Amino acid sequence: MKRFFYLVFLCFFVGSGLWAKKSDTGISLSEAKWTLPDALDTDGYVVEEKMPKNSKYSEMVILGNKILNETTKYVGPQAKDKSKRFAGNNLSCSSCHAKGGSVANQSGFVGIWGRFPQYNARADKVITLEDRVNGCFERSMNGKRMPVDSIEMKAIMTYMQWLSQGIQVGAKTQGQGLKAVEFLSRAADPKAGKKIYEEKCAACHQNNGLGMKNPEKTGSYYIFPPLWGDDSYNTGAGMYRLIKAASYIKANMPQGDANLSLEEAYDVAAYINSQKRPVKANRDKDFPDLKLKPLDMDVGPYDDNLSTTQHRYGPYKAK
């Protein structure tokens, strides 16, 4: 057994080294501070009165911000123009990228403009920021790609550029992405996760996992987003992977009082992702370089001897 886990970790570290080589930009800069523009309020909305008047740039920043915070209204199932319905569910980008991507350690967008194009292991190629956004639309939003020359995509790009102002091209930003979590020495337990969910998550996301809709006509469609069901992310989303979901949950949930233990975060992530949700086709094509395939991908082929169940729930390290 010890030899088995040694081989697993050997593959993991070899993969990490390979990713570092494939993603190396040769740029070495000091890590930038997480700073926000003065015209962004505490809810992650652009204060229009603080933006330059009669400015086409301002108009695009404001539109991009609204698209991220109220996605379904502009480019989802609630969009009046059916040709603009690129998102397949009623989530907002801010459902994961909190407050218009302005919150540190919640996959925020500060500095993101200067980090693309970048290498993407899932595609095993260099992708643009538009590609990355469309990946979310196809997976987390369970929809389809948005034309890169559309006014909506240009608005999103403009907002992300505005949010990244002052940060050097190629620089990492404090609080970007998610905080890494340690692996458990046991498998995550969906049954234990169900109990944790009922005690600490259901008050917001509801016992049935379908979230809480916003009764107001303004703002996002959901006050608290659905975590499974037809209106949630599909199986191709990063949040469908155990380690990624546990990382997000550990750092941020319950909202405003993140108090779950590491084991609780893993167990509740396992429970959430054991529920029914839309299925992303052709996931076996993700991560074509198998040495870079994440341990928590539950679809083969693999470059190790772990079972599909162990890839999905762990454990990923020896006791």
Q: Which domains does the chain have, with CATH numbers?
A: 2-23+179-313 (1.10.760.10), 48-163 (1.10.760.10)
Give the containing element (helix H, strand E) for 222. strand 222-224
Measured CA to CA, the distance from residue 195 to residue 272 in angstroms comes to 11
Please state the rounded mean pLDDT for residues 93-122.
97
Measured CA to CA, the distance from residue 194 to residue 206 in angstroms comes to 12
Which carries the bigger pLDDT value, residue 52 or residue 15? 52
Give the containing element (helix H, strand E) for 98. helix 98-101
Give the start-end residues of each E strand in 13-53: none
Three-state DSSP at 127 gives strand
> Given this model, what pLDDT does residue 222 score?
98
Decide if 222 contacts 92 (C-beta within 8 A): yes
Please state the rounded mean pLDDT for residues 210-218.
94
Joined tokens for residue 80: 């009046």
Give the containing element (helix H, strand E) for 224. strand 222-224
The pTM of the full predicted model, rounded to 2 decimals, is 0.94
What confidence tier does 18 reach under pLDDT thresholds 50, 70, 90? confident
What confidence tier does 20 reach under pLDDT thresholds 50, 70, 90? confident
> Given this model, what pLDDT does residue 19 score?
80
What confidence tier does 310 reach under pLDDT thresholds 50, 70, 90? very high
Please state the rounded mean pLDDT for residues 62-89.
99
Joined tokens for residue 296: 């928590």
Report whether pLDDT(212) > 90.
Answer: yes
Residue of 204, 223, 227 lying closest to 213 (CA atoms):
223
Give the containing element (helix H, strand E) for 56. helix 56-69
Report whether pLDDT(98) > 90.
Answer: yes
Joined tokens for residue 312: 């999905």
Which carries the bigger pLDDT value, residue 319 or residue 213? 213
Joined tokens for residue 129: 């920021």
Which carries the bigger pLDDT value, residue 11 or residue 169? 169
Bridge partners, residue 224, by sequence = 212
Give the containing element (helix H, strand E) for 223. strand 222-224
pLDDT, averaged across the chain:
95
> Given this model, what pLDDT does residue 245 score?
98
Decide if 152 contacts 74 (C-beta within 8 A): yes
Q: How many percent of the chain have pLDDT more than 90?
A: 91
Q: How many percent of the chain have pLDDT more than 70?
A: 94
Report whether pLDDT(3) > 70.
Answer: no
Report whether pLDDT(208) > 60.
Answer: yes
